Amino acid sequence: MGPHPAVAAIRLAVRRVLHDVLTEHQTDPAPARDAHTPLVLVACSGGADSMALASALAFEARKLPVRAGGITVDHGLQDGSDTRAGEVVARMTALGLTPSEAVTVTVGREGGPEAAARDARYAALDATAQRHGAAAILLGHTRDDQAETVLLGLARGSGIRSLSGMAAISGASGRYRRPFLQLDRQTVRKACVAQELAVWDDPHNSDPAYTRSRLRHEGLPALEKALGKGVIEALARTAQLSRDDADALDTWAADAETRVRDEAGALECAKLHGLPPAVRRRVLRRAVIAEGAPAGSLFARHIEEVDRLITGWRGQGAINLPGRVEARRQGGRLVIRQG
Can you give the pTM of this predicted structure? Answer: 0.85
The pLDDT assigned to 203 comes to 67
The pLDDT assigned to 200 comes to 81
The pLDDT assigned to 285 comes to 95
Pairing of strands 39-43, 136-138: parallel
The pLDDT assigned to 32 comes to 59
The pLDDT assigned to 334 comes to 96
The pLDDT assigned to 34 comes to 61
H or E element at residue 302: helix 300-311
The pLDDT assigned to 196 comes to 95
**Helix and strand element counts for the chain (H, E):** 13, 10
Nearest to 44 by CA among 12, 80, 91: 91
Q: With a cut of 70, which residues of the chain have pLDDT below it?
A: 27-35, 77, 110-111, 158, 203-206
The pLDDT assigned to 208 comes to 78
- Give backbone dihedrals phi and psi of 224, rounded to 5 degrees, phi first: -65, -35
How many other C-beta atoms are found inside a 10 Å radius of the C-beta of residue 259?
11
Q: What is the DSSP letter of 297?
A: G
The pLDDT assigned to 22 comes to 94
